[in-house]
Amino acid sequence: MGKVYLTGAGPGDIELLTLKAARVIKKADIIIYDRLANPEILNMCKDGCEFIYVGKEDGKHILPQNEINEVIYKSALKSGIVVRLKGGDPFVFGRGGEEGAYLRERGIEFEVIPGITSAISVPAYAGIPVTHRGISVSFRVVTGHEAPNKEVSQIPWQNFKTDDTIVFLMGLHNLDKIANKLIEIGKPKDFPVAVISRGTTKDQKTVVGTLQDIYEKAKDLPTPALIVVGKVVNLRDELNWFER
Ligand code: SAH
């Protein structure tokens, strides 16, 4: 029986892959990957390595999660080293936990190789530190996939009244609802927001606005994109090193 590595591919820039991830990718017999993992990484594999695409985009799955779990499990039954490669970090909205549990129940050995999550690295490439002395003492990473007008929300919106940083992943299609909800709980209409598209790649694009106007400014950006809400967004004026 094989061993599965639940591996983070980092946010896009191939050099943000960890040494440990690179080591197992070079040895892999099967790589199971999705859309967010930079496909250039696959060039590192040894000859004869099999690639299985189980594409996943903003919560819309090409394969449902239970079938992905099964693909990983079957791969482990037939091969030595199976790398399950996921964009960013496998345990940050990556469903790596479910995959690990599925393997564990079936007696398949696995390891987790954390990756650099887009939640902090994409803002960093846009010149936005998620914390900053005197401006933000914490940051939250929140799913933007759930519509904020849902009757029973799992998201503690009332806790978002502070000025601290909130990063929404998978939220571009709910951008108007998220911005309105934050205004509704009492945040100022001119509170700073940035939307960063295709972060850490040559196609990176950042749009800065306020809760009031960000939707009109950013709604047509290509995915993947994330939303940063917080006063830290203003630091970009000085710190925007990558796009500059
Ligand atoms: N496990 C991943 C997140 C998966 S959820 C991680 O740790 O980064 C997918 C969401 O991540 C996308 O909808 C988008 O909001 C965000 N994302 C991933 N890569 C991104 C990138 N290069 N630029 C902007 N947002 C990105």
Average pLDDT over residues 142-168: 88
**Gap between the Cα atoms of 138 and 103, Å rounded:** 34
- Is the Cβ–Cβ distance between 118 and 94 less than 8 Å? no
Catalytic option among 13, 56, 89, 181: 56
Token pair of 233 as six digits:
């967004």
Decide if 244 is inside a domain. no
Same domain as 229, residue 133 = yes
Decide if 15 is inside a domain. yes
Same domain as 133, residue 97 = no
Q: Which residues contact 22 (CB under 8 A, 6 or more apart)?
A: 44
Decide if 214 is inside a domain. yes
Token pair of 134 as six digits:
């005197």
The runs of H, that is alpha helices, within 46-109 are: 65-78, 96-105
Confidence category of residue 53, pLDDT binned at 50, 70, 90: very high
Q: Which residues surround ligand 1 with Cβ inside 6 Å?
A: 11-12, 36, 58, 86-89, 92-94, 117-119, 122, 169-170, 196, 198-200, 224-226
Q: Which residues contact 210 (CB under 8 A, 6 or more apart)?
A: 189, 190, 191, 192, 193
The model's pTM: 0.95
pLDDT tens for each residue of 69-80: 999 999 999 989
Pocket test for ligand 1, best of 93, 169, 196 (most atoms within 8 A of CB): 169
CATH of the domain at 162: 3.30.950.10
In the residue annotation, 170 being an active-site residue is answered as yes
Catalytic option among 13, 34, 89, 164: 34
pLDDT tens for each residue of 186-207: 999 999 999 999 999 999 999 9
**Gap between the Cα atoms of 60 and 108, Å rounded:** 27
- Is the Cβ–Cβ distance between 167 and 130 less than 8 Å? yes
In the residue annotation, 161 being an active-site residue is answered as no
Peptide bond connecting 114 to the previous residue in cis, omega within 30 degrees of 0? no
With 90 as the cut, is the pLDDT of residue 55 above it? no
Same domain as 126, residue 103 = no
Domain boundary among the residues 81, 113, 145 is at: 113
Q: Say what the pLDDT of residue 184 is.
A: 95
The runs of H, that is alpha helices, within 83-223 are: 96-105, 118-125, 175-184, 214-218
What is the extent of the structural domain holding 201? 118-239
With 60 as the cut, is the pLDDT of residue 236 above it? yes
Confidence category of residue 24, pLDDT binned at 50, 70, 90: very high
With 80 as the cut, is the pLDDT of residue 83 above it? yes
Same domain as 173, residue 127 = yes
Token pair of 62 as six digits:
């090409």
